[in-house]
């Protein structure tokens, strides 16, 4: 008889919290954070070493904000997981080429189920029409199925400017796109990019243009998902051919940022203006996403009056902007490093210290970009 995982009871309570929408329940968040801290302290060896170096233990934790945060660089050097090697059925790598050592975030079927439970409602709230977002994802038709009835008439086509999952099994972004396409997408949803041997991605412009034109002719809304550099490649190809499209009403764009030298870089406002002019997508229908392979939840920023609103995570994930000098949360409007507490990071660690600079905006944040600092390595990751 298989012994139940010590994480199983926590996962059930977390899933119930997510199903309730996470309501603005600070005591419940604190309770779940403390429970997960105790589990990860006991079962994630590198995390326990960090906590012991900082003299923080579950039985003497004054506040969940004091849970030690693991630097993202640790995921490159160490196995930050409670999963034994035989239990690991999936691993997400940070983006980059084969010349760089990637971060590794290990999963099994149960942790992926929590990942998807976190992903779907927050994505639906920001990207989908209300009548589609209310559909129970587990009963939603997959992209290979033909939806029927009134729901089928409102289900959008998902066009993903990334390679298909079979070619990129270690990309959390591709897994995310595949999950939302399967849960909410209409027949004809597809991936329109290829992956090279060095993990570089190339847009299949012919396939993308065919899909976009078909959507325009069918008047079926499109959810267009991609990185900033893939959108630049698409927009440049349209400009070179003197083409402009007008996607059907209800269409939306989600861009995830990120260039990594794979295209010319554009200020966000300029990129969004080109999306509007070349694809006919209003500014208010463009959504920015913030996520990383080390997390299981995502933050979104909406566009209003040509300006971006602050990024916000779902209620089961909190972001703090931390002063690198004092280690304390900065005041509203001040700049610091982004620290994230993600309850859906069940089998790794919930507290992640990023290298991203951000401005605190109430309970959200404005993203500035990567901090210029040396990456910690090896034993230095566990230093106080």
**CATH code at 230?**
3.40.50.980
Tell whether 246 and 359 lie within a shared domain.
no
Whether the per-residue pLDDT at 173 is higher than 80: the answer is yes
Q: Predicted confidence band at 95 (pLDDT cuts at 50, 70, 90)?
A: confident
**Arithmetic mean of pLDDT, 276-292:** 95
The predicted pLDDT at position 149 comes to: 35
Are 83 and 132 in a shared domain?
Answer: no
Instruction: Say whether pLDDT at 30 is over 90.
Output: yes
Q: Which two tokens stand for residue 13?
A: 């309570």
Phi, psi of 172 (to 5 degrees): -65, -30
In DSSP terms, 70 is beta-bridged to 352
Q: Is residue 225 part of a domain?
A: yes
336 phi and psi angles, rounded to 5 deg:
-165, -165
How far is residue 92 CA from its own chain's centroid? 12
On the question of pLDDT at 126 being above 80, the answer is: yes
> How high is the mean pLDDT of the chain?
87
Q: Are residues 53 and 115 in the same domain?
A: no
Q: For residue 270, tell me if it sits in a domain.
A: yes
Q: Is residue 103 part of a domain?
A: no
Task: Write 321-327 long-range contacts (CB < 8 A, 24+).
Answer: 321/358, 321/359, 321/360, 321/365, 322/353, 324/371
Backbone angles phi, psi at 254, to 5 degrees: -120, 120
Beta strands in the chain (DSSP E): 70-71, 90-93, 104-107, 157-160, 190-191, 193-195, 201-203, 222-226, 252-255, 286-290, 299-304, 307-308, 317-322, 335-342, 351-361, 364-370
Q: Calculate the CA 5 to chain-centre distance.
A: 26
**Region of poorest pLDDT, from 153-162, 324-333, 341-350:** 153-162
Identify the DSSP state of 309.
P
Give yes or no: residues 192 and 335 share one domain.
no
Question: 288, 308, 328: which is the final residue of a domain?
Answer: 308
Residue 141 has pLDDT above 50, yes or no: no
Question: Three-state DSSP class for 174?
Answer: helix
Amino acid 150: pLDDT:
36
Residue 255 resides in a domain: yes
Residue 158 Cα distances to 148, 178, 359, 361, angstroms? 17, 9, 32, 31
Question: pLDDT tens, 182-219?
Answer: 999 998 899 999 988 777 899 999 999 999 998 888 88
Residues 52 and 156 in one domain: no
Alpha-carbon distance of 96 to 200, in angstroms, equals 8
Residues 253, 120 within the same domain: yes
Question: Is the same domain home to 136 and 280?
Answer: yes
Tokens of 96: 């980059």
The answer, yes or no, to whether residue 68 has pLDDT greater than 90, is yes
Q: Is residue 98 part of a domain?
A: no
Helix axes 172-184, 109-127, angle to 10 degrees: 70
Query: Which is more confident, 34 or 198?
Result: 34
Tell me, what CATH number does 325's domain have? 2.30.38.10
Among the three residues 308, 341, 357, which one is the final residue of a domain in this structure? 308
Q: Are residues 131 and 242 in the same domain?
A: yes
Q: Which of 285, 308, 331 is the last residue of a domain?
A: 308
The whole-number average pLDDT for the span 223-237 is 95
Q: Are residues 288 and 171 in the same domain?
A: yes
Instruction: Judge whether 339 and 68 are in contact, CB under 8 Å.
Output: no
Return the pLDDT at 374: 43
Do 337 and 208 lie in a common domain? Answer: no
222-226 and 157-160: which strand pairing?
Answer: parallel
User: Is 1 domain-assigned?
Assistant: yes
Q: What is the mean pLDDT of residues 113-127?
A: 96
Number of domains in the chain: 2
pLDDT of res. 168: 92
What's the token pair of residue 123?
A: 């994505």
Residue 302 in this model has a pLDDT that exceeds 60: yes
**Domain-embedded: residue 97:** no
- pLDDT tops 60 at residue 153: no
**Residue predicted with more confidence, 68 or 139:** 68
Mean pLDDT confidence for 330-357: 97
200 and 274 belong to one structural domain: yes
- Domain with 58 in it: 1-92+316-384
327 and 223 share one domain: no
In a domain, 100, yes or no: no
Contact assessment for residue 46 and residue 79, using Cβ atoms and an 8 Å cutoff: yes
């Amino acid at each position: 008889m298989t012994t139940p995982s010590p994480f199983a009871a926590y996962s059930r309570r977390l899933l119930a919290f997510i199903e309730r929408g996470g309501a603005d329940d600070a005591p419940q968040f604190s309770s779940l954070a403390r429970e997960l801290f105790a589990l990860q302290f006991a079962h994630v060896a590198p995390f326990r070493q960090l906590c012991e170096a900082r003299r923080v233990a579950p039985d003497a934790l004054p506040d969940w904000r004091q849970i030690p945060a693991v630097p993202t660089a640790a995921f490159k050097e160490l196995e930050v997981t409670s999963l034994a090697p035989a239990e690991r059925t999936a691993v997400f790598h940070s983006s980059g080429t084969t010349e760089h050592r990637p971060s590794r975030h290990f999963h099994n079927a149960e942790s992926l189920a929590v990942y998807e439970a976190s992903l779907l409602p927050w994505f639906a709230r920001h990207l989908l029409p209300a009548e589609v977002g209310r559909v129970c994802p587990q009963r939603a038709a997959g992209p290979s199925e033909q939806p029927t009835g009134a729901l089928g008439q409102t289900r959008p086509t998902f066009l993903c400017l990334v390679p298909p999952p079979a070619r990129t099994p270690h990309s959390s972004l591709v897994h995310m796109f595949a999950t939302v396409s399967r849960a909410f997408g209409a027949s004809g949803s597809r991936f329109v990019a290829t992956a090279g041997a060095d993990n570089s991605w190339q847009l299949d412009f012919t396939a993308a243009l065919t899909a976009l034109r078909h959507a325009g002719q069918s008047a079926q809304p499109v959810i267009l998902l991609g990185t900033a550099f893939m959108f630049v490649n698409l927009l440049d190809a349209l400009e070179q051919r003197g083409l402009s499209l007008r996607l059907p009403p209800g269409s939306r764009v989600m861009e995830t940022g990120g260039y990594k030298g794979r295209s010319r870089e554009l200020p966000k406002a300029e990129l969004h203006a080109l999306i509007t002019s070349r694809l006919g997508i209003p500014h208010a229908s463009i959504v920015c996403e913030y996520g990383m392979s080390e997390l299981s939840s995502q933050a979104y920023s909406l566009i209003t009056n040509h300006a971006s609103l602050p990024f916000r995570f779902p209620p089961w994930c909190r972001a703090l902007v931390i002063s690198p000098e004092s280690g304390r949360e900065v005041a509203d409007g001040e700049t610091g490093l982004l620290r994230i507490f993600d309850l859906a990071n069940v089998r790794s660690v919930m507290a992640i210290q990023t290298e991203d600079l951000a401005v605190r905006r109430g309970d959200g944040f404005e993203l500035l970009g990567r901090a210029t600092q040396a990456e910690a390595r090896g034993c230095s990751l566990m230093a106080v």
